[in-house]
Amino acid sequence: MASGVGLALFYGRIGSWQGCFLTGVALRGRNFGNPKSYILGTPKYLVMASEQLEEYLESILDIEEREGIAKTSAIARCMKVAPASVTEALQTLSDKGLISYQPYKGATLTDSGREMARKVKRRHRLLEVFLRDVLQIRDDNVHHEACKMEHTLTDETEYALCKMLRAPARCPHGSLIEPCDRQVESCAECLNNPSLAAAFPHRHEHLIPVTAMEPGQKARIAFIRGDAGVVQRLTDLGLTFSTEIQMVRKAPLSGPVEIGVRRTRLAIDHTIADHIFVAALGETS
């Protein structure tokens, strides 16, 4: 899924560094890569571009979700680069505390790495929706365009984009878009007043859509994606903020999911369930 578009940026300049969501992640002063490369006349270091770094994190997230651990070879395949380059990049990411890397085994994201990867993924998918639905860009170009744009987005633009697109649930390729990273209970809060979003504190717990819950798993409703109508409908059914729910079973072929809530069972359409995000209980992820 993730691409190797960052390849062209692998060596060289420091990207248009926004820093807004990578607070605390210092990029400067790391020894990395090809010593022949020079940046701004400094012969000593190569600095890994933020775009590049984010591309790696996205790839690792994809592979990790599929296979549990991201092997160097898998990352190389995914990003269409030489395994040797991957090893170097992983070392850098590991130094920055974004992944934990064990040579010969592979990489897994740390909490901060995962948070960053998800943020970029969310922007990528929002941009894809924007490019296809608003700008009507051809489907096969959407991904590459989004790959280039995703690294330069600010929080403000991201929230405005999400609001304009009315908080889409899925990207054009059908992947679920991550929920917003602010502690809002529903999109209704933001859709009425988008400047408010930035005023909310960052969300620290990781949210998953109800559809990603495993049978038997318990969780607490943390965020509902959608406008006031969706929220009202779910509230009337007792699916209010911070209510505890338990996954009973999922019907095959994206059929409805069956959950236990308030000592009754509800079957919920798959698409609606995608809009309900929960924080898993008794688990730290």
Decide if residue 189 touches other proteins (CB under 8 A). yes
> Which one among 164, 198, 267, 281 touches other proteins, defined by CB under 8 A?
267
Per CB under 8 A, 44 contacts other proteins? no
Is 166 a residue that touches other proteins (CB under 8 A)?
no
Enter the tokens of residue 273: 């369930």
For residue 237, state whether it binds other proteins (rule: CB under 8 A). Answer: yes
Cβ(216)–Cβ(247) below 8 Å? yes
Q: What is the DSSP letter of 42?
A: B
Options 5, 127, 222, 268; binder of other proteins; rule CB under 8 A: 268
Distance between CA 135 and CA 118 in Å, rounded?
A: 24
202 counts as binding other proteins under rule CB under 8 A:
no
Decide if residue 266 touches other proteins (CB under 8 A): yes
Q: Which stretch binds other proteins (CB under 8 A): 33-41, 78-86, 95-103, 188-196?
A: 188-196
20 lines the binding site for other proteins (CB under 8 A) = no
By CB under 8 A, residue 215 contacts other proteins: no
The answer to whether 84 contacts other proteins (rule: CB under 8 A) is no
CA distances (Å), origin 234, targets 192, 223, 266: 19, 12, 11
User: What region does 78 belong to: left with phi over 0, alpha with psi -120 to 50, or beta?
Assistant: alpha
CA distance 117 to 75: 14
Whether 53 and 86 have beta carbons less than 8 Å apart is answered as no
Which phi and psi (to 5°) does residue 205 adopt?
Answer: -80, 150
> According to the binding rule CB under 8 A, does residue 262 interact with other proteins?
yes
The residues pairing with 245 across neighbouring beta strands, listed in sequence order, are 219, 261
**In this structure, how many other beta carbons lie within 10 angstroms of the beta carbon of residue 104?**
6
> Is residue 186 a contact point for other proteins (CB under 8 A)?
yes
Which residue in the set 66, 255, 281, 283 belongs to the binding site for other proteins (CB under 8 A)?
Answer: 255
Q: Which stretch binds other proteins (CB under 8 A): 38-46, 122-130, 164-172, 224-232?
A: 224-232
Note the residues at the interface with other proteins (CB under 8 A): 184-186, 188-190, 192-193, 196, 228, 231-238, 240-241, 243, 249, 251-256, 258, 262-272
